[in-house]
Structures are given as structure tokens and as C-alpha cells.
Structure 1
Amino acid sequence: MIAHAHLHVSDYEASKAFYTKVLATLGYTNNMEFGQAAGFFDGKNTDLWVLKEDVVPTHLAFEAKSKEEVRAFYETALAEGATDNGGPGYREDYWAGYYAAFVIDPDGHNIEAAYWDYEKAGEKGPE
């Protein structure tokens, strides 16, 4: 289990503002800040930190609770300056019920929101 991850950004204030708005669509809040490091809380853990460091583009996927959250994530990210990298939809080549959207953030990170649609896949899902 991963406790937290760091996402390196080139413009701390702009990235903190971007992620505060975009991650709010998935239930996150910016709950901590130390210097140029902002922590984002999902209701259980401060599991993402955005901090000023040399940027190495990476991929991060966040779990959404619904297809509507995936769409809200995507639309908010685009409105806040992200670039489309795959709009909301099923990715059946991943799994029959994999519903996701991808954006490229201002630092070149591939950021995803994913929802596991067990009903579409014909499965019960985790119990």
C-alpha cells in the first residue's frame, strides 16, 4: 500500500492552485503546506504532495467514485490549463469496466482519473 507520493512541479503556486481545483472533483482538499510543498487529503490520508523540485514527467492515476467524477475531473483540468490526453470513456483494452480520462498537466505529467464500473464488466466488484 502506498502511503503518499510526491509530484514535482516547476511553478509551485500555479500547480498548487491547479491541483486544489482539479482534485476537489475527486473529494481531495489541500490540508497541509510546508514551504513549497502542499499536501492533499482524500478523507483518509494526505497521500499526494505537490512540491517545487526538478520535474521528471510521470503518470499518476486517481480513483474516482463514479463516471461523473471522472468527467468533472477532466473538464475542470482542461478549464485550469491541462491538455487533453484521452477524454472520458471506457478503455476496454484495459478491462471491460475501466472508465477513465487522461490529461497532461502544465508540467507534462500524465494525470488520470479512473472508475471501475463492475456492472458494465458483468462483475460483482470487491466485497
Structure 2
Amino acid sequence: KLPAYMIEAFKSTLEELIYTDVIVLVIDVSDSLFDFKKKFASCMRTLSEVGVERDVVIFVLNKSDLASNYEINEKVKILNLQDSKKWIAVSALVGKNLNELKILVKNIIENQSSSNYNNKIVKEFKDPYGN
């Protein structure tokens, strides 16, 4: 168990996230469904506690090389991300979708003030699975 002062130091660092344009939240998509949901809920609870809005979060489902598109899609549905344009399945190990992740981040940052930025993201980035 971490000492209280370390937890407080970590929380104060997290509080700086409210000033960011984009947060890249990396989740291990190869985790069991139970662990996946538990970790996601913990991350979202922590972000909420420090005042982070969900709309600045890009959900990166890492280790996609260890999961089928079906498994990824099921986890996307469970997390209610299927209508969001801000998720992508990547594999850091094999490099899958890393350039597409860069494009997604770039598009979101460049179009923060535009009310039409979701449409531009969709035009330039069509396959979150990397197929």
C-alpha cells in the first residue's frame, strides 16, 4: 500500500489534467472482461474526481494484437464507446494504428474550437481497428 503523501502527490499531478486539450487513456484490451471494466471504471472515476471532462479523452485500446476484432468490439460496446469517434485499437508491440493515433490526436487538437471537428476526424480516420 502506498503512503498517503504519495497518493496526495499523485492526485495533485492528476489535477493538472483539467488544463489539457487531450488526454490519451491507454487501456489493455487483452485483459479479462472483469479486469478491463474494473480498470476503466477506476480511471474514469479518478478523472471525474479531479474534474476532467470525458470529451477530452481519447480511449486507446492497446495490445489489440492479442484480441480479435469481435472481442475489441464487445469491449467498446460495454464501455459505451461505439458512437464515439475518440477511440482506437492499437498495438504498441507491432506498431498497429500508431500513425492513425497520431492523426486522431492531431485532428482533435487542431479542431478543438470547431463545432464540426467530429466530421473531419471521421473523414481522415475511418478504421479504429486498423484493418
TM-score, length-scaled by structure 2? 0.30
TM-score, length-scaled by structure 1? 0.31
